[in-house]
Structure 1
Amino acid sequence: MASGKVKWWDNGSGYGFIARDSGKDVFVHHSNIVGSGFKVLTPGEPVVFDIIETDKGPKAENVQRVSPT
């Protein structure tokens, strides 16, 4: 799994971008966030995720929040 922090998030549209710890930013859609209920992310929030390549570029899947230690 890759790791990074949420770069920005649009609650109204349900998508945003994750700044990877190494590499280019990755698109994320609310449907790819693990969990139930209303799925949102907060800028600066640490996450781990899988990356898939699409015709529009890299996309995050199986996005999981990282609990603070």
Structure 2
Amino acid sequence: MAAVTGKVKWFSNVKGYGFIEQEGGQDIFVHYSVIEGEGYKTLSEGDVVRFEIVQGEKGPQATKVVRESQAADQKS
């Protein structure tokens, strides 16, 4: 499956999941375990991410999530 781009709608560190707004499509569920990279796996509202979509038990969900850019108000 080809990678698509979207923007993080919201993500809860407490719950470990959130949703990505897919460009021109529906919101996609994202779980912290599929976020690529080192260290603490989290996303922030407004982050631009690249990901693939797979069919989960409750509908489409993101996998192989890579942050392309952080939201403008975030500091690393």
Does the residue aligned with 2:33 lie in a helix, a strand or coil?
Answer: helix
Q: Which residue of 2 aligns with 1:46?
A: 48
Number of matched residues? Answer: 68
| Residue ranges of structure 2 left out of the alignment (5+ in a row) | 71-76
Identity of aligned residues (%): 49
Q: TM-score, normalised by structure 2?
A: 0.84
Give the 5 Å matches for 1:1-69.
1-67=3-69
Quick one: distance in 2 between partners of 1:53 and 1:22?
18
Quick one: distance in 1 between partners of 2:26 and 2:4?
12
Q: TM-score, normalised by structure 1?
A: 0.92
| Residue ranges of structure 1 left out of the alignment (5+ in a row) | none
Which contiguous aligned blocks of 4+ residues in structure 1 show a shift greater than 4 angstroms? none
Quick one: distance in 1 between partners of 2:57 and 2:16?
20
